[in-house]
Amino acid sequence: MGVQQSRYSSDCADSTLKSLDLHRRAETGVFSDSESDVSGSDSDTDEENGVWMALPSALSSTGHTFRKIETKVVNEEEQLQLVKRRARKLARTTAGSAEDRANPVSPRDFHVIKVIGVGGMGRVLLVRYRKDGKLYAMKVVSKKSVKEKNMAARVLSERDVLGGTCHHSLVQLYWAFQTKDNLYFVMEYCPGGELSTHLERATRFTEEVAAFYAAELLLAVQQLHQHGILHRDLKPENILLTEDGHLKLVDFGISKFGITEATRGAKTICGSYEYLAPEILKGKEYGTAADWWAFGAVLYELLTGLPPWYSQNAKEMCKHVLYTPLSIPDFVSPEAEDLIRKLLSRNPYERLGSLHEGLEIQEHAFFRHIDWEMITFREVQPLIQPCPSPETIVRVVCSGIWAHLICLTLYRSMGVIFATNSQIYR
């Protein structure tokens, strides 16, 4: 037995984007007879190598049921055959194209260009798919780390969200497969890097730039909430930019499914301290309103350069979040200040966004110049132009001068390239 994988459609039809629906794309249950390590060396894989089935996304009712089965037995080898049988049965009813079933991918199908990220459980590689030459980001997760750190639920959660989304503000997953030692996610590559990097270089964004990215982020959060998904880790580091400067929300490892209320459904204290809502810090039950608090904290940071109540001492910062009045710099406009204060309301029932899932945020005066239809269909020229073409990036990486040409971003004024004739204004 070799690579176990699921294949996700890479394209969303215009009608899909226009309907703004997270379509339940079918995954296959393909099992290949050959595999190799991503570095090119062969790696033997046996039947009993852990559970990583090609199940449909938990966004679908069928996938949700099978995911529960998978989660329960992810580290129980004695249950492996049962799960495999169910996965094969499911594959016959939800399989993708015949081509996908006949030609499953393996690590040897990708040429590694460079390591672009390192985390606690593995690394992220920039790879080129040998069959079509396209660039992808390949996340390689160590099974040993997953087991030792009890992170199976987190890995499965990220796969479920990534594999079940077809919205342009959410990063796309194209393949998920495994070898004896590792799990692999082959995802959309976002060469623009983290929004936090651009913010750090710019110190702070103008309100025009902040409004543009806040608008794209708002649509991403709305999509998740409409499907009962609470992100729980909104922050600039989890916002990537495409080569032309559009936003992509990533990192769904601690996302929670089945959250449909503003103040109920979740209890676990998790996320990044700078963006945690008061109800989370107090250990109370919380819901989608917690994401809107984090959204407000991100907007504050885009406009000022730091999160609200920021302190290097986490305990002190949490105390300020709970009890200290919010201070907003004088250079922030009255419209922006009003929106931030309403988003950072300590009462989740009164927090803007909690009643109508962001619609009242869209109608706020801060976004008065935003054409939401154009933002929705990405017809607005991004206000940060971060990167050259992927082909240029590969040439730069291979030439060894990547450090000198990261994203080839040119900074003017506040540290960004502004669109000369911005379509963000009507």
Two tokens at 318?
């949490």
Half-sphere exposure of 228 (CA within 13 A, CB side): 12
Q: Where would I find the beta strands (DSSP E) of 48-154?
A: 110-118, 122-129, 135-142
- Least Cα distance to 402 among 125, 111, 116 occurs for 116
Catalytic residue check, 37? no
DSSP state letter for 332? S
| Cα distance between residue 65 and residue 70, in whole Å | 9
The C-alpha angle with vertex 138 and arms to 379 and 243, in degrees rounded to 5, equals 25
Non-local CB neighbours of 233 within 8 Å, separated by 6+ positions: 251, 253, 254, 255, 270, 271, 272, 275, 294
| φ/ψ of residue 36, rounded to 5 | -155, 160
Is 131 annotated to bind a ligand? Reply is no
Non-local CB neighbours of 204 within 8 Å, separated by 6+ positions: 302, 303, 304, 305, 414
The C-alpha angle with vertex 201 and arms to 311 and 384, in degrees rounded to 5, equals 120
From the candidates 100, 109, 160, 233, give the one annotated as an active-site residue. 233
Residue 378, SS3? coil
| Cα distance between residue 144 and residue 87, in whole Å | 23
Non-local CB neighbours of 331 within 8 Å, separated by 6+ positions: none
Q: Residue 256 in contact with residue 229, Cβ under 8 Å?
A: yes
The C-alpha angle with vertex 386 and arms to 363 and 190, in degrees rounded to 5, equals 85
Strand bridging mode 135-142 / 247-249 = unpaired
CB atoms within 10 A of CB 57: 27
End-to-end CA distance of the chain: 57
- Least Cα distance to 178 among 53, 42, 88, 33 occurs for 53
- Least Cα distance to 138 among 160, 161, 109, 166 occurs for 109
**38 strand-pairing partners:** none
- Least Cα distance to 309 among 318, 249, 351 occurs for 318
Active site amino acids? 233
Annotated binding residues for ATP: 139
